Amino acid sequence: MLATPHGLVETPAFMPVGTKGTVKGLTPGDLRGAGAGMVLGNTYHLYLRPGSDLVREAGGLHAFTGWKGPMLTDSGGYQVFSLAETRSISEEGVEFASVYDGSRHMFTPELTTRVQEDLGADVAMVLDECPPAGADREYHAGSLRRTARWARRCKEAHSRGDQALFGIVQGGLHPDLRAESVSRTVEVGFDGYAVGGLSVGESREEMLDILALTAPRLPAEKPRYFMGIGDPVGILEVIALGVDMFDCVLPTRLARHGAALTPDGRINLKNAKYRRDFGPLDPECSCEACAGYVRAYLAHLVRENELLGHRLITLHNVHFTLELCRRARREISAGNYAGWSRAWISRYQGLTRPGPDKLE
Amino acid sequence: MLATPHGLVETPAFMPVGTKGTVKGLTPGDLRGAGAGMVLGNTYHLYLRPGSDLVREAGGLHAFTGWKGPMLTDSGGYQVFSLAETRSISEEGVEFASVYDGSRHMFTPELTTRVQEDLGADVAMVLDECPPAGADREYHAGSLRRTARWARRCKEAHSRGDQALFGIVQGGLHPDLRAESVSRTVEVGFDGYAVGGLSVGESREEMLDILALTAPRLPAEKPRYFMGIGDPVGILEVIALGVDMFDCVLPTRLARHGAALTPDGRINLKNAKYRRDFGPLDPECSCEACAGYVRAYLAHLVRENELLGHRLITLHNVHFTLELCRRARREISAGNYAGWSRAWISRYQGLTRPGPDKLE
């Protein structure tokens, strides 16, 4: 359980991503109805569009977007390192070109902290570097040390008492560097700790191995946030390793491509066989999309690229992912998580009975 | 008041258009909440995608789309004549190339009647020809007579007792041809009568003049449907001439371009001045978009082409148009329609005080 000025978040919790101040196509009411606890906003995008000064004038991101529940903003670091084509890093910060118009900007620890204070989420993140794929050990070592120095500057710059600040652990796939990053970050002292720089191209096995070594080193009494996981199996795997919070655009992005999550695996509604499928999307789901429409109608909307299709499948995928977390919390309370999650994953992966779209 | 198997429709009524079996971005629940009585579906699109056979298998358009209220389908004639690049008309029907894939199809009165029976709306329309802009008097005369012969064939082919069938009056801007079309159509005998072939490029004055001559010739006890008007001023003007029903994609199409309807005129949220406008979209409106968000947020969504922006502004424009009709019904009951509508139009057109975007 995570306490925030805008309410409690039951953990482990999936945080839907509201990239530009909106979870694609959904209202705050939809998100509440789907059971969302905490929602994530992207500082990179909001800083550039509509501008964090404008959001502050509107009364902060809660007032601006209408989402009154717990909210977290990232620092923008991940987008700078993954979206920007040109960037240069120095001790001072990172200079980059806007993905919108190519204009030059510089993120420093002090600036991203102030921007997040303007946005006013319940949890802010330190500015970190997410090293490029293929970076060597030496690069990772230097990078994690700079990230730790930036973390200290973020903490010093942070002045909002009603906003938590989380540190971020880097170190690539090197166990000793992860350990070093943990101790340097914990030494600064934060309200929670994120594991960053994973789910960025390494194998799932490598990811879980390094997480298994990293997570137990984090303070047991502080929330642990795994940045960037949202597929059902990955969620269950990181929960097993003690992660409390995680976010990913996957459920919402899949929806815009016509892909829906079901207990029997992911299905793509563009597949011809759904054209005349008059059953619900997921018979075990109670969301508006599953309760009110048949697959054939949703498949029609997807094929015609209709807004309502994007909206309904997004709602379902978010609801499905949040419901998975609710169930995980119940199973953890009941002391049955390992057995339940193993069975759930087997069914989802089509190992217990033939799944519908295993070859997609 | 119009009685249908799926409920009563209070008239005069604006019918939101669900072109492809969905009013862009809105659920049936949204439409009910906005006060929609009857919703329109387009036979042309549904015949081609997903196919009226598939809709019939799903249990009809009500079951397929989840809209349980009154519904009307057009015959597809208007789309054939406005969308198709190649077409050829004969006494038998009209041959055309699909706007989706260029495949050849032929609509006959019998086919469009059967297709609409498969779709299962409460009201079906006869197949008519909407003559091309610039057609001469002779063309109109021949066309309206063929439309009347087609109307008879539609009536003969129509077999669903739970579905009303409306005739359509054509005749261009020629008063005597309109009169001839009325008498030929009424002679066949329908459950209601539509005035077609207007709002297709003629001036608003020409349109109202010919409507003023045509409407009083229609049977007083049957509903009168004006095809294709949806701007607030036009709605109030056709209501004044005794029209009971009308439809148009305008409110939904405007929304996708960022334009919103307000009592003080149409505003475009892409205009720079709305970036920092922290007031509601329309302070007099109770819809979800106006109650839950500020203009600055909606403007941000529109600029970023976010799905939620399209959805919320569509909801508002539909709600606004339906609310205008509710108010018109009240003023008619109170015997105050002429005075009220004159004042309403003056304000909307910025004649009583400076409107915000008069030069847009």
Cβ atoms of A66 and A28 closer than 8 Å: yes
Calpha distance A107→A113 (Å, rounded): 10
In a domain, B225, yes or no: yes
Calpha distance B90→B108 (Å, rounded): 10
Q: Does A114 touch chain B (CB under 8 A)?
A: no
The pLDDT of residue A87 is 82
Q: Does B160 touch chain A (CB under 8 A)?
A: no
The pLDDT of residue A86 is 66
pTM over 0.80: yes
pLDDT surpasses 90 at B360: no
Do B50 and A288 make contact, defined as CB atoms within 8 angstroms? no
- Same-domain status, B242 and B269: no
Chain B: residue whose CA lies nearest to A58: B278
pLDDT tens, residue by residue, A103-135: 999 999 999 999 999 999 999 999 999 998 889
Tell me which residue in B49, B275, B308 faces A27 most closely, judged by beta carbons: B308
Domain end: A247, A277, A299, which one? A247
Which is nearest to A135 in space by CA: A217, A191, A201?
A201
In a domain, A275, yes or no: yes
Q: Does B68 touch chain A (CB under 8 A)?
A: no
pLDDT surpasses 50 at B358: no
Give the closest-approach CA distance of B142 to chain A in angstroms.
37
Calpha distance B35→B29 (Å, rounded): 10
A17 contacts: CB under 8 Å, gap ≥ 6: A23, A39, A40, A42, A247, A248, A249, A252
Q: What are phi and psi of A252, to 5 degrees?
A: -80, -35
The pLDDT of residue B110 is 98
What mean pLDDT, rounded, does chain B reach? Answer: 96
A170 contacts: CB under 8 Å, gap ≥ 6: A128, A129, A130, A131, A140, A143, A144, A147, A177, A178, A181, A196, A197
A151 contacts: CB under 8 Å, gap ≥ 6: A109, A126, A128, A167, A168, A184, A185, A188, A190
Residues B78-98, mean pLDDT to the nearest whole number: 89
In a domain, A355, yes or no: no
Q: Which residues of B fall within a CB distance of 8 Å from A55?
A: none
- Same-domain status, B42 and B157: yes
- Cross-strand bridge partners of residue B107: B94
Calpha distance A61→A80 (Å, rounded): 21
Q: What are phi and psi of B326, to 5 degrees?
A: -60, -45
- Same-domain status, B166 and B271: no
Q: Which residues of chain A have pLDDT under 50?
A: 355, 358-360
The pLDDT of residue B304 is 97
B342 contacts: CB under 8 Å, gap ≥ 6: none
Tell me which residue in B288, B293, B308 faces A25 most closely, judged by beta carbons: B308
- 3-class SS at A254? helix
- Same-domain status, B225 and B305: no
Measured N-to-C along each axis, helices A137-157 and A175-188 cross at an angle, to the nearest 10 degrees, of 10
- Same-domain status, B228 and B264: no
Q: Which residues of A fall within a CB distance of 8 Å from B279?
A: none
Calpha distance A54→B294 (Å, rounded): 12
Q: Which residues of B fall within a CB distance of 8 Å from A42?
A: none
Question: For an interface test with B, which of A101, A249, A300, A316 has the most B Cβ atoms less than 10 Å from its Cβ?
Answer: A300
Chain A: residue whose CA lies nearest to B62: A293
Q: What angle do CA A305, A311, A317 make, to 5 degrees?
A: 110
Calpha distance A251→A319 (Å, rounded): 9
Q: What is the 3 state secondary structure string of chain B?
A: CEEECCEEECCCEEECEECCCCCCCCCHHHHHHCCCCCEEECHHHHHHCCCHHHHHHCCCHHHHHCCCCCEEECCCHHHHHHCCCCEEECCCCEEEECCCCCCEEEECHHHHHHHHHHHCCCEEECCCCCCCCCCCHHHHHHHHHHHHHHHHHHHHHCCCCCCEEEEEECCCCCHHHHHHHHHHHHHHCCCEEEECCCCCCCCHHHHHHHHHHHHHHCCCCCCEEEECCCCHHHHHHHHHCCCCEEECCHHHHHHHCCEEEECCEEEECCCHHHCCCCCCCCCCCCCHHHHHCCHHHHHHHHHCCCHHHHHHHHHHHHHHHHHHHHHHHHHHHCCCHHHHHHHHHHHHCCCCCCCCCCCC
Calpha distance A141→A181 (Å, rounded): 9
Distances (CA, A) of B5 to B1, B22, B160, B164: 13, 20, 12, 10
Q: Which of A128, A247, A264, A277 is an active site residue? A: A247
Residues 282-341 of A with CB under 8 A from B: 288, 292-294, 296-297, 299-301, 303-304, 306-308, 310-312
Calpha distance B178→A140 (Å, rounded): 81
Do B20 and A304 make contact, defined as CB atoms within 8 angstroms? yes
- Same-domain status, A177 and A297: no
Tokens of B47: 């015949």
Tell me which residue in B21, B28, B310 faces A307 most closely, judged by beta carbons: B310
pLDDT tens, residue by residue, B38-68: 999 999 999 999 999 999 999 999 999 999 9
Domain end: A205, A220, A247, which one? A247
Chain B: residue whose CA lies nearest to A279: B58
Calpha distance B86→B80 (Å, rounded): 9
Q: Count other Cβ atoms within 10 Å, centred on residue A334.
A: 9
Chain B: residue whose CA lies nearest to A309: B25
Give the closest-approach CA distance of A227 to chain B in angstroms.
24
- Same-domain status, A175 and A263: no
In a domain, A356, yes or no: no
Chain B: residue whose CA lies nearest to A27: B308
Q: Which residues of B fall within a CB distance of 8 Å from A305?
A: none
Interchain CB contacts (distance < 8 Å): A and B? 107
The pLDDT of residue A247 is 98
CATH number assigned to the domain comprising residue B212: 3.20.20.105
Helix-strand-coil percent breakdown of chain A, rounded to 5? 45, 15, 40
Q: Quickly state the pLDDT bin for B303 (edges 50, 70, 90).
A: very high
In a domain, B360, yes or no: no
Do B310 and A308 make contact, defined as CB atoms within 8 angstroms? no
- Same-domain status, A153 and A261: no
pLDDT surpasses 80 at B212: yes
Do A308 and B27 make contact, defined as CB atoms within 8 angstroms? yes
In a domain, A358, yes or no: no
Chain A: residue whose CA lies nearest to B28: A292
- Same-domain status, A265 and A344: yes
Do B296 and A50 make contact, defined as CB atoms within 8 angstroms? yes
Cβ atoms of B23 and B31 closer than 8 Å: yes
In a domain, B356, yes or no: no
A208 contacts: CB under 8 Å, gap ≥ 6: A237, A238, A241
In a domain, A354, yes or no: no
Residues B118-140, mean pLDDT to the nearest whole number: 96
The pLDDT of residue B86 is 66
Domain end: B248, B273, B305, which one? B248
Chain B: residue whose CA lies nearest to A252: B307
Calpha distance B281→B269 (Å, rounded): 9
Which is nearest to B167 in space by CA: B199, B191, B140, B143?
B191
Question: For an interface test with B, which of A49, A307, A310, A313 has the most B Cβ atoms less than 10 Å from its Cβ?
Answer: A307
Do B300 and A20 make contact, defined as CB atoms within 8 angstroms? yes
Which is nearest to A128 in space by CA: A105, A111, A147, A109?
A147
Active site residue B74: yes
Calpha distance B15→B40 (Å, rounded): 6
Domain count, chain A: 2
pLDDT surpasses 70 at B186: yes
Give the closest-approach CA distance of A78 to chain B in angstroms.
20
Tell me which residue in B50, B275, B312 faces A300 most closely, judged by beta carbons: B50
pLDDT surpasses 50 at B36: yes
Percent of chain B with pLDDT over 70: 97
- Same-domain status, B105 and B240: yes
Q: Which of B30, B118, B247, B282 is an active site residue? A: B247
Q: Quickly state the pLDDT bin for B133 (edges 50, 70, 90).
A: confident
- 3-class SS at A132? coil
Which residue range(s) make up the domain with B279?
254-348
- Same-domain status, B16 and B162: yes
Active site residue B244: no
Do B307 and A275 make contact, defined as CB atoms within 8 angstroms? no
- Same-domain status, B54 and B111: yes
Q: What are phi and psi of B72, to 5 degrees?
A: -125, 140
Q: Is A138 exposed, middle or buried (0-12, 13-18, 19+ CB in 10 A)?
A: exposed
Q: Which residues of B fall within a CB distance of 8 Å from A27?
A: 288, 292, 308, 312
